[in-house]
Amino acid sequence: MVAETTLSVDDLIAPLFVREDITAPQPIHSLPGVVQHTMDSLIREATELRDLSVPALILFGIPAEKDEIGSGAFDPGGIVQLALGELRENLGDTMVLMADLCVDEYTTHGHCGIVDDLGQVDNDATLEIYQRVALAQAVAGADIVAPSGMMDGQVAAIRAALDTDGFTDTSILAYAAKYASAFYGPFRDAVDVTIADGGDRKGYQQDPRNGREAMEEIALDLAEGADMVMVKPALSYLDIILRARLELNVPIAAYHVSGEYAMLKAAEANGWIDGDAAALEILTSIKRAGADLILTYLTRSIAETLHDHRPALGTGPRAIEPPRAELNPAGDD
């Protein structure tokens, strides 16, 4: 009765991977339970998520061929564009379709932008590519594009391109406070990305030591036209989520990323932790910190749990509180 926080299926966004050159779904070793989908298995999974009342998905593509500029990201025949079209055809308007907007999955060097002769990412040249990606995704049916490359000025560039071509209703979820994190490791397995020459993303992603800077990045993205902002990763950055919540009135998303999921699954597989209880506790904490939306690989299993706990008449909220016993190990309430 007095619970301050409830986790609901309405809060969840499912990240899904679709790969071009496969005929059967491929498991991802470092992300147990997550797969690279074929087009068919993607449609099936999305339909099942929709039937569990999950409101949204975000798509990542793995192309058959990569090149220097990541042209698969904006090719109308690129895997994500094709998938958006198929999803729209199969799901109509029953699910919000988001597309991650970046080129790292599509470039030979694995960076989130165009690389110059010195091997440095060229911020401004990259913006033109992002504009092409945004348009390709909007044309293909994305409701929301989610730029994740952390280039300066990316939101303004994308907004301008979308508006110029009449896509004024296509929203932007900005990966605004995105840290250069060790927790993205399993994701890079999932999308076959290795950054060239042992490189990293510290030139464009944020330093984990900085919190005030995150507020600056978020403010810039909002001023440039972002409709929603994201903090990423989630668990090591709950303070950033809280700060953003205290300062802002826009929707705030948090990405519970691949490495956070992998740690939980590894401990669960070893029998060291009660995975289901820990999952619920983690996502509830992210919500309590102030996130409105959570992108998480746990979406399907949590949605199934919440679905099973729906009131028999189906009229109540699709929400349950975390099991008391788990949150109060002493059991002395």
Which positions touch ligand PBG (CB under 6 A)?
100, 102, 104, 112, 148, 184, 187, 201, 257-258
Give CA–CA dist 163/159, Å, rounded: 6
Contact predicate 301/283, CB 8 Å: no
Query: Minimum Å distance from CB 164 to ligand PBG?
Result: 24
287 is a catalytic site residue:
no
Contact predicate 135/165, CB 8 Å: yes
Nearer to ligand PBG, 112 or 252 (CB): 112
Strands 35-37 and 252-256: unpaired
Q: In sequence order, what are the residues at sequence separation of 6 or more whose Cβ sits closer than 8 angstroms to the Cβ of residue 199? A: 109, 110, 111, 119
Give CA–CA dist 108/69, Å, rounded: 8
Residue 32's CB is within 10 A of a number of other CB atoms, namely 16
Nearer to ligand PBG, 206 or 258 (CB): 258
232 is a catalytic site residue:
yes
Contact predicate 86/47, CB 8 Å: no
What would the two tokens of residue 221 be? 């993205």
Query: Minimum Å distance from CB 26 to ligand PBG?
Result: 17
Query: Minimum Å distance from CB 120 to ligand PBG?
Result: 17
Q: Tell me the Ramachandran region of residue 121: left when phi exceeds 0, alpha when psi lies from -120 to 50, beta otherwise.
A: beta
Query: Minimum Å distance from CB 257 to ligand PBG?
Result: 4
Nearer to ligand PBG, 65 or 247 (CB): 65
Nearer to ligand PBG, 106 or 318 (CB): 106
Nearer to ligand PBG, 31 or 320 (CB): 31
Contact predicate 152/206, CB 8 Å: no
Query: Minimum Å distance from CB 174 to ligand PBG?
Result: 12
Residue with tokens 């508006």: 163
Catalytic residues: 178, 232
